[in-house]
Amino acid sequence: MPGTFEPLPGGGAAVALDDVEISIIRSLAVQLLELIGPGPGAETSDDPLAELFTDGPSEPPADPVLRRLFPDAYSDPEGTPGPEQAEEQRAYSAEFRRYTENDLRAGKRESALAVIRTLDGLSAESAGDGGAVLKLDPDESRQWLGALNDLRLAIGSRLDITDEDDTELLYRLPDEDPRKPMVMAYLWLGGLQETLVSTLMP
């Protein structure tokens, strides 16, 4: 089971992680949490009902990683739209973002927090020297899947990965390339994500 998720009887998934892997995933989840933040326009309040009626931002985030995590809802799949169509798409996207981004941010924060909590609470059976077996219930598995996807999107954005061809080029990077550690994390998380998906399939 090292490095791959396997299904648990009755649902959920398990994976053996060593201390270094636990530290890497936790660190990345904390960074993701800090990056997502509460978002512009989000206000902290003691009244949870008040937060339901707080409008989100209408403009896309300036950070390219956040733009990847919170893309515009409306775009032209055919290519570059004309000026009038582009303006219409911007207006629709702004309205959609205004009413959904705060909820999307909250969901992504909760998924990242779930990763941190489950790693911090690791008291499962030993996986050998300096490791443990992480066991997730079905809900935790889905939160992990969301967080792994967000982490790969974030790293992929930093690496300028836009399609599968870009991924193929990463395998050929020389070891001295400063992007190599990030590439290795991207590929490793992809393997975890893929095996976790397979455990959730009926």
Residue 97 is predicted with a pLDDT of 76
Residue 127 is predicted with a pLDDT of 46
Look at the alpha carbons of 159, 33, 7, 17 in this order and tell me if their dihedral is positive or negative.
positive
Residue 124 is predicted with a pLDDT of 41
Residue 58 is predicted with a pLDDT of 65
Residue 125 is predicted with a pLDDT of 46
Residue 122 is predicted with a pLDDT of 83
Whether residue 70 contacts residue 97, with contact meaning beta carbons closer than 8 Å, is answered with yes
Amino acid of residue 184: M
Residue 151 is predicted with a pLDDT of 97
pTM score = 0.81
- Phi, psi dihedrals of residue 30, rounded to the nearest 5°: -65, -45
Q: Which residues pair with 131 in a beta bridge?
A: 18
Residues recorded for the chain: 202
Q: 3-class SS at 104?
A: helix
pLDDT tens across 76-125, in order? 555 566 677 767 777 767 777 777 788 888 999 999 999 999 999 885 44
Spans of the chain, pLDDT less than 50:
1, 42-44, 124-127
